[in-house]
Structures are given as structure tokens and as C-alpha cells.
Amino acid sequence: MTTFADLGLHPDLLKAVAEQGYTEPTPIQAQAIPLVLAGRDLMGGAQTGTGKTAAFALPILQRLAPHANTSMSPARHPVRALILTPTRELALQVEESFRDYGKHVPLRTTVVFGGMPIEPQMQQLRNGVEILVATPGRLLDHVHQRTVNLSQVEIFVLDEADRMLDMGFIPDVRRILGLLTARKQGLLFSATFSDEIKKLADAFLKNPVLVEVARRNAAAELVSHLVHPVARERKRDLLVHLIKSREMKQVLVFTSTRLGANRLAYQLNRSGVHAAAIHGDKTQAERLQALDEFKSGKVGVLVATDVAARGLDIEQLPYVVNFELPNSPEDYVHRSGRTGRAGATGLAISLVCGEETERLADIERMIKVKIEREIVPNFGPNVREAPGIMARPDRERRRGADEPRLTRGRRPERPAAPAARPAPKPTDPIFSKPYEPGAAPPAAPQPQKRERQVAALLGGFIRKPG
């Protein structure tokens, strides 16, 4: 069994790791740490929750520590390691990891991101820091204010590069790369690799080593997946039912829009489920408060958009619920990756209505998992939508004797046609007498006889001329 000591880490770092409660490295840590210590450029493909932050934080701390000093002069504390992250939450968590692992190493760290006053950040940068964690936009603000100098950066980390691409940050990343020297060591981490991500890697990595510890574009292995087909208008009721009936705690719920997150959190609270929402319209203080209350258990449900939840690191998070499926299958991977972290198991539940059937199929093709379907009694989908959603059931659902059986890829069985009703007895006076059902009908009248009968019928209504 590999230990952290086997990776060649300094005793001060090993002490900090032990104080955090970790005993053995994860696969990404075991593979990446020696490479980073050796000065190699790296492309790390790992799902969230696999320990990738420590995979670069620990070796960076070790490489910078021999040159650390206790001088108070900012000039003696230039930025030597720069870590770019796509969101504020991830930036905070990465910087916190550096502080935790580097508590016994004389290195200064700080974090800068938008949504907060810039002046305190400017003062921290003027005081001097060796390790800077930042989001792209706020870092460029500091560059324009001339409160940060990146000319002495030795190690550059681009974390969650795929999300940088999704959020449109790649132009900012390229501008920042233009401020760095060519001598830097480059590390890129991403849950998925697209052609555009590889093109970006080629721009700043030199002969990188590729380290992948999970199947490309795969969902985390410790995460189970489940689909509850449901009518769109019953989703909220079903969510409340699941949380209450299954006594679900610490549930991270994803919606597609900020307005939808606010509305769902409000409705959950009205239904007796304590919930909070985080999204881009919330201030950083509001988001951090909601996250702290969720982690502490004061709030049982956190409703979030994709942007706000990116990078959330919540230990032992048991449930992720897709109230609405994302438009991109990659976002499903990121969402489900919030659970099943650090060796713990998790469950990703999706509430899927008929109009989301194609999105579900795209997700299954990408993650190469045939997701189990289970209809919750009294919360099934609309009859017209059911065959599409249930195209790939894995579990025989519970059903009443009078419910149609939903089978894989087939329409519901049609109920047997009712028995034919007896033909009514004719009352047309054209017939000489009525006939009983089952008896041969009388022969049709001859034309001349029929004309006389019709004339007789109408005779009383036609006045003769004159």
C-alpha cells in the first residue's frame, strides 16, 4: 500500500496531511505528486472528489518551501505559484487547502475573486504572497490596477479547465498566460477533455504527462444513478415527497435558472422543507452563509445553479437531485460529481419529464451507463410521455392491477376492446316488422314497392294542387 511518505513529501507536509485525517493517497495523488515534484508539466484527468487539489497543492508547497523566507518585504514575497479556478467557491476551497497543507511551511497564500470589495485584496497583494488563487476576471482587474506582478510565477495551475471553457473564460485565460514567462511549470486539471481543451493545453504545456484516473467523460464510479419519471407539473410535489418519506438530509438540488432556484427554495420552505438557494445573483456573503448553513445541517436542502455549485466541496454529501436535467451531458457529470467524493458513495437522482427524454438519452450515451428508472406511486409521468421516458427501465416498477404495463421500448398494452353492443332494433317503417339481433335481416324491398311505401308516408304532408 502506497503512503504519502512513499511519495517523497517533506515531514512538515506529512504532518499536515496526517492532521487532516488522511492516511493514504488517492490514485490521482499517487500518480501526480511525484511528477510535479520532478518539475514535469501535467494534464490531469480526474473527476471531482478524487483529491486532485492535494495532487497539486502538496508538491507545489514542497517545491516553493526551500526558498521561503520570513522577510516582511513584499519584494521578497513575489507571486511564484498561480492557480486559476472558474468560480469563487472553488477558489476559496483551493486556497483553504493550501493553508491547511502548508500550515507548517513559511509560505504566504491569498485568494482573489469578484463579488467582494477589491481594496482588502489589493492590500494583501501589496504585502506579498507566494501562492495566489484567483478567478480570471478579478485577477485581470488587479493586473490593470497594477497591484499584482506575475513576472516571477514559476508554477501555473489551470483547475477545472473544462468549466473555464463552458463559462467563456478561455479568452481571459489566454490573456493571463501572455503575462507569464515561458519558463514556468504548467499543470492542467479537467474532468473532461475536448479538442478545445487539448488545444489550450498545447498553448502552455511542454511535453506534458497525461494522468487519468477515471474513464474519460465518465461519471464518478462511486455514484449511483436513478431516474424518477414524473409529469413536469408534479416535480416539486415529488421532491417534497422523496425528502420527507426517505428522510433525506443534505440534498443538493440543481435547477437550470436563477429564478427557478429562488422559486423552488421558496416553495420547499412553504412545504416544510428548510431550503436555501445559491446562484450568481446572490452576494458572496449570502452564498457563503447558505453554504455554511448547509454544511452544518441547519439547512437540509441547497438549491443551486450549475455556475454557483461548481467546485463546491461538501464532505459526505449523500444526495444530488437534478430537478431539471442540464442541457449539456458534461454538466450532468459535474453535478453528479458533487457526491460520491473521497471514497464515499452517493446517489444522483433525476426527476425527468417527457420533454427531457432526449437529454436523458444523451447523458446515458456519454457516461455509458444505462440509468435505472423507477416510478414513484402516485407521481408517474403523463400517459403520452411514459413510453419515451421508460425506454430503458432496469427495475420492474410497482403497479396496480388496472395500470398498463410499461415495457422497454414498447407502447403500453392497450386494454381489450369492449364487447360489441347489440344492434338496436330498427324502427324505420320501411321494414315490415322489426327483427331480433342475430336473425337474418329482411330482404331489401323492391324499388316499386319501396316507392309506394315512401309515397304513403309522405302523402299526409303533401298538398295536392288545386
234 pLDDT band, cuts 50/70/90, is very high
pLDDT of 87 reads 85
Q: Flag whether 84 is in a domain.
A: yes
Q: Do both 114 and 262 map to the same domain?
A: no
Q: Flag whether 447 is in a domain.
A: no
Instruction: Identify whether the C-beta of residue 359 lies closer than 8 Å to the C-beta of residue 353.
Output: no
Q: Closest Cα to residue 150, out of 131, 165, 122, 137? A: 131
Residue 397 in this model has a pLDDT that exceeds 80: no
Extract the runs of DSSP E, i.e. beta strands, from 340-443.
346-352, 372-373
C-alpha R_g of the chain: 34
pLDDT of 404 reads 41
Burial 146-164 (b: 16+ CB within 10 A, else e): ebbebeebbbbbbbbbbbb
pLDDT of 77 reads 74
Q: Flag whether 302 is in a domain.
A: yes
What mean pLDDT is reported for the chain?
81
Burial class (CB in 10 A: 0-12, 13-18, 19+), 410: exposed
Q: Do both 27 and 47 map to the same domain?
A: yes
Task: Tell me the pTM.
Answer: 0.60
Given 355, 389, 423, the domain boundary residue is: 389
Q: Which residue has the higher pLDDT, 31 or 280?
A: 31
Q: Closest Cα to residue 346, out of 249, 429, 256, 427? A: 249
Given 370, 389, 408, the domain boundary residue is: 389
Which residue range(s) make up the domain with 18?
5-212
Q: For residue 185, what is its C-alpha cell?
A: 511549470
Helix 136-145 / helix 118-127 crossing angle, nearest 10 deg = 70
Q: Grid cell 513575489 — which residue?
A: 78
Q: How is the beta sheet containing 251-254 ordered, strand by strand?
A: 275-278, 301-304, 251-254, 319-322, 346-352, 223-229, 372-373
Q: Do both 234 and 374 map to the same domain?
A: yes
SS3 190: strand
CB 112: neighbour CB atoms within 10 A? 26
Q: Do both 190 and 235 map to the same domain?
A: no
Q: Do both 49 and 195 map to the same domain?
A: yes
Q: Do both 286 and 373 map to the same domain?
A: yes
Which helix (H) or strand (E) segment is 41 a member of? none
Q: What is the DSSP letter of 413?
A: P
Residue 463 in this model has a pLDDT that exceeds 90: no
CB 423: neighbour CB atoms within 10 A? 11
456 pLDDT band, cuts 50/70/90, is low
**Least confident segment among 217-231, 268-282, 311-325, 341-355:** 217-231
Instruction: Identify whether the C-beta of residue 327 lies closer than 8 Å to the C-beta of residue 366.
Output: no
Q: Flag whether 419 is in a domain.
A: no
Single-letter code of the amino acid located at 183: R
Q: Where are the alpha helices (DSSP H) in 343-406?
A: 357-367, 386-389
Q: Flag whether 436 is in a domain.
A: no
**Rounded average pLDDT over 387-408:** 46
Residue 269 in this model has a pLDDT that exceeds 70: yes
Residue 399 in this model has a pLDDT that exceeds 80: no
Q: Which residue has the higher pLDDT, 408 or 159?
A: 159
The rounded Cα 284 to chain-centroid distance in angstroms is 21
pLDDT of 428 reads 43
- 298-340 pLDDT tens trace: 999 999 988 666 656 676 789 999 999 998 887 888 788 788 7
pLDDT of 324 reads 95
**What backbone phi and psi angles, to 5 degrees, belong to 158?**
-110, 105
Q: Do both 34 and 79 map to the same domain?
A: yes
Instruction: Identify whether the C-beta of residue 98 lies closer than 8 Å to the C-beta of residue 129.
Output: no
Extract the runs of DSSP E, i.e. beta strands, from 217-284.
223-229, 251-254, 275-278
Q: Do both 11 and 155 map to the same domain?
A: yes
- Sign, CA torsion 354/359/365/366: negative
**Rounded average pLDDT over 285-300:** 88
Name beta bridge partners: 265.
Answer: none
**Interstrand relation of 301-304 and 275-278 (parallel, antiparallel or unpaired):** parallel
Q: Which residue has the higher pLDDT, 87 or 435?
A: 87
Euclidean distance between CA atoms 407 and 402, whole angstroms:
15
Q: Do both 177 and 64 map to the same domain?
A: yes
pLDDT of 434 reads 46
Longest pairwise C-alpha distance within the chain = 133
Split into its structural domains, the chain has a count of 2
- 20-62 pLDDT tens trace: 888 889 889 999 999 999 999 999 987 666 788 999 999 999 9
- CATH number of the domain encompassing residue 336: 3.40.50.300
Q: Do both 249 and 286 map to the same domain?
A: yes
Euclidean distance between CA atoms 301 and 269, whole angstroms:
10
425 pLDDT band, cuts 50/70/90, is very low
Q: Flag whether 459 is in a domain.
A: no
Given 346, 363, 389, the domain boundary residue is: 389
Residue 72 in this model has a pLDDT that exceeds 50: no
pLDDT of 48 reads 64
Q: Flag whether 408 is in a domain.
A: no
If you write DSSP's letter for every residue of 94-121 in order, what string do you get? HHHHHHHHTTTS---EEEE-TTS-HHHH
Q: Do both 62 and 202 map to the same domain?
A: yes
Q: Do both 131 and 273 map to the same domain?
A: no
Q: Which residue has the higher pLDDT, 46 or 170?
A: 170
pLDDT of 311 reads 58
Which helix (H) or strand (E) segment is 132 a member of? strand 131-134
Residue 267 in this model has a pLDDT that exceeds 80: yes
Q: Flag whether 143 is in a domain.
A: yes
